[in-house]
Chain A
Amino acid sequence: MGLFILRRVGIMLLTALCLTFLVFFLTNLYPNLEKLAKTQGNFRMSDEQVESFLEKGGYLQPTPIKYGEWLGVLPSYRHTNEDGTVQGRCILPGKTAEESPNFCGILQGYWGYSTVFKEEVSTVVGNRLALTGRLMFWVMLLMVPSALILGILAGMKEGSATDRTLSTFAITTTATPEYVSGVIFIAIFTSSAVGLKWFKGTATQAMENPTFENFFLPVLTIALYGMGYIARMTRASMTEVMTAQYIRTARLKGVSFPNIVMKHALRNALIAPFTVIMLQFPWLLNGVVIVETLFNYKGFGWALVQAAGNNDIQLLLAISVVSVFVVLVTQLISDIGYVYLNPRIRIS
């Protein structure tokens, strides 16, 4: 087991390295750098001005070297200006070249400086992640129990009225992407045209003071899309368990139906949904980006859109590291959890 986890962590690191290099490569293509220069300086810069801006920032070195600097395995680039001052990635505003370290990459704990938010990337990501974390917490709290209940109710008796109705509901929610359900919810519950006005159409206020009124719709929108899928998986696993031999034995012994479901079936039926829920995290990340844009909730997904739209290289890299980390860790947890929950499977 220890070796298995060790190997998985190794693969994880390799994947993260490859992915960040890919992001690095794509964001450092010349047209993207030109865009960065123009958004930083002004949009009327001539080609020579763009060139000198990029030269000063050290953007014109070969990509592997820049990547090494970002990682913190190569000394970072310094540019001596005409007036003799030295500027560079490691030299923060208000510091001189002598007191700044030579290496400053993520290995040293320095994530860079966001060109969009004019803040250190680590603060930006930390703040935004906290906001998104709150959103995700409520999404999980709403999605997981309701999906499991739906799936179990539907899977208890295959082909029953409850099963058909709930399955249709589950299919409908999986067919409704967030930008469709969000728009429909906003139209029905917040617009003055329908006139219900039960909720707020934006979640901007929810960043400081989340209430049911301004926070429920974004949570519901994300939860609904993931819910159908988990419910269908739970239903499939539940129907499989309900046809197992030991359930029949229990029935023949005369155990009551609620008892069979609660004591015999449920624990076995919940193994498969566990992995599904874990693997759902990457999908939720997509939902978060869409919903945060739709409801104007300035969290992690919103920061991703801002960073990508303005080619904020450092922030984009940090965001991809975080999201890749989330994806890979949830994969690892789902694998380990599956083995832990299901004694029939052992890793050879």
Chain B
Amino acid sequence: MEPLTWTGSIAFLNPLLAIALALMVISILAWILASIILPEPQMTVNPDGTLTSGSGVRNLIQTVLRFSFLASVGLGVAYIVLGVLMGTSAGIIGAMSQQFLPVWLSLVLLYAMSIAFKRKLGLYGKLFDSPIGMIGFGLVMFWVFTGIFGALDLIVTHDPLSQVSGMKNKVPGTPLPSIEDGEYAWYLLGGDNLARDVFSRMVKGAWIVVQIAPLATMFAFMVGITLGLPAGYYGARLDTLLSFLANLILAFPVILLFYLLVTPEIVATGVPNYMAAILFIFPIIFLGVLLNSRYYTRPTFRTPLLIGVLGVALWLYLSLISTNGYIVNTDNYSIWGLPTYLDLFDVPGGILVVFVSVVFVNSPTVFRIVRGLAMDIKTRDYVAAAQTRGEGPWYIMLWEILPNARGPLIVDFCLRIGYTTILLGTLGFFGLGLPPESPDWGSTINEGRKLLSIYLHPALPPALALLSLVLGLNLLADGLREESLKD
């Protein structure tokens, strides 16, 4: 087998792309310069009442910028389409595009459906009016689909943990020394210092982030909302106490906290299990209060609903916190949990402690945001109207204040998933929590950085992956903010 080059037989596109990109950069610079140097475009009123704007240079620059941007995007798409069609004969880029085929299909389908029905989809549909939001959403969904399909073994070319002798630190596109039947013949992005496939590890790493980050952020939001609403609504002593606790956690440098919480020794003491037991009960409280405050006037409907929902929630809660029939299982003592035959799923100890500490770090900030919003919204007229109607405080908090605070909260949710991704990377970077052979991006960056001055390829793909995912989430949040402000 021949080693692959980056672009293979579609290399004729490279100069074109270089020209388009160069044009784009030049026109952006010219655009900025023009907006500083040239005067504002003058509007002249014609005798027949129409307006003409002058300054042809500005328009020219904008046209060039638009066309060069479109050309770059078009060429990028051409790389992908040709890659999908030609596969490895289009080099590493082509081979990778072909591996990502399920992702491309899902993205195209998702975008086509969303744009077709965007007027019926509320805020989500409006996202497709903003180019920034669309780009961000595209980046995020790319990694989400990559994570899901990667977990289904559709994208990966090799097992992320298996080592192939002779592939240590090999550059991207190196063929395997001996190929068995059905095995992919190349390491597309090269091999790392333990001779594992960098490409497959990057794809598998996406699944870890896609699994943990949104879920952890959601739990942090549940905790923050359940505590922040009463703190903002009641104020007084409760607020002082909860704010003090929140500031206490926020005053901790995050990395010190991680080093104290996410070590094997602390896991052995069972501290993370206690924290999990406390933190994960908040979603149940949240759900219970949410439903009860809405339906307590109709006990015949409320009681079965609450029993059903809370029953399922409790079952999930107990399965989440108990492992092998124990909630806490240390050398000295143990607390019984759900029996194994009722246990729906087991979370490995490493993942649980990472999850708990990320929720723990994020919830005080959410608490502060929710508290501030609640303090602001409780002075509105509709809250006063609800109070006059005789609604209970929890109904007002959860069904009057919370829905009206959703705009900033949704935006912050997106930003916070990005921040959680960064935190997960930090944990991996310091080798905390997740097992050392885990393919998550932080650990891979940490491993790759040791040989960075000689071999770039093991560290750069996960670094760029993390960068693009977080950038996508930030752009998505920006687009959402823009669109929700338009209402």
Contact = CB atoms under 8 A, between A and B. Distances in A.
Given A183-B460, A186-B453, A308-B260, A289 B253 contact: yes
Contact of B422 (A162, A177, A304, A309): A177
A250 to B, nearest CB: 17
B35 A162 contact: yes
Nearest to B255: A289
B449 A180 contact: no
A164 B254 CA distance: 32
B244 to A, nearest CB: 7
Interface string A306-348: 0011010000100110011001100000000000000000000
A308 B259 contact: yes
Contact of A171 (B425, B464, B478): B478
Interface in A166-218: 171-172, 174-177, 179-180, 183-184, 186-187, 190-194, 201
Interface residues of B, number: 54
A29 interface: yes
Nearest to A174: B474
A161 B34 contact: yes
A29 B271 CA distance: 10
A45 interface: no
A30 B452 contact: no
Interface string A279-320: 000100110011001100000010011001101000010011
Interface stretch (A19-27, A88-96, A107-115, A267-275): A19-27
Nearest to A304: B256
B270 to A, nearest CB: 10
B1 interface: no
Contact of A187 (B36, B261, B446, B456): B456
B264 to A, nearest CB: 8
Contact of B265 (A15, A35, A193, A327): A35
A34 B332 CA distance: 15
A183 B470 contact: no
Given A11-B244, A19-B252, A289-B253, A183 B259 contact: no
Q: What secondary structure prevails in chain B residues at the interface with A?
A: helix
Contacts of A2: none
Given A289-B255, A324-B251, A180 B445 contact: yes
B266 interface: yes
Contacts of A194: 456
A49 B254 CA distance: 35
A61 interface: no
A123 interface: no
Q: What secondary structure prevails in chain A residues at the interface with B?
A: helix
A102 interface: no
Nearest to A32: B265
Interface of B: 28, 31-32, 34-36, 244, 247-248, 250-256, 259-261, 263-266, 268-269, 271, 418, 422, 425-426, 429-430, 442, 445-446, 448-449, 452-456, 459-460, 463-464, 466-467, 470-471, 473-475, 478
22 contacts: A11-B244, A15-B244, A23-B260, A26-B266, A31-B264, A34-B265, A35-B265, A171-B474, A171-B478, A175-B470, A175-B474, A176-B470, A177-B422, A180-B467, A187-B460, A191-B454, A193-B453, A290-B255, A290-B426, A320-B256, A324-B252, A327-B251
Given A165-B32, A177-B426, 12 more contacts: A11-B244, A14-B244, A31-B264, A174-B474, A179-B425, A180-B463, A184-B460, A187-B452, A193-B455, A201-B453, A293-B429, A305-B259
The 9 closest A-B pairs by CB, nearest first: A308-B259, A31-B265, A175-B471, A175-B470, A161-B31, A161-B35, A177-B422, A180-B463, A26-B260
Interface of A: 11, 14-15, 18-19, 23, 26-27, 29-32, 34-35, 157, 160-162, 165, 171-172, 174-177, 179-180, 183-184, 186-187, 190-194, 201, 282, 285-286, 289-290, 293-294, 301, 304-305, 308-309, 311, 316, 319-320, 323-324, 327-328
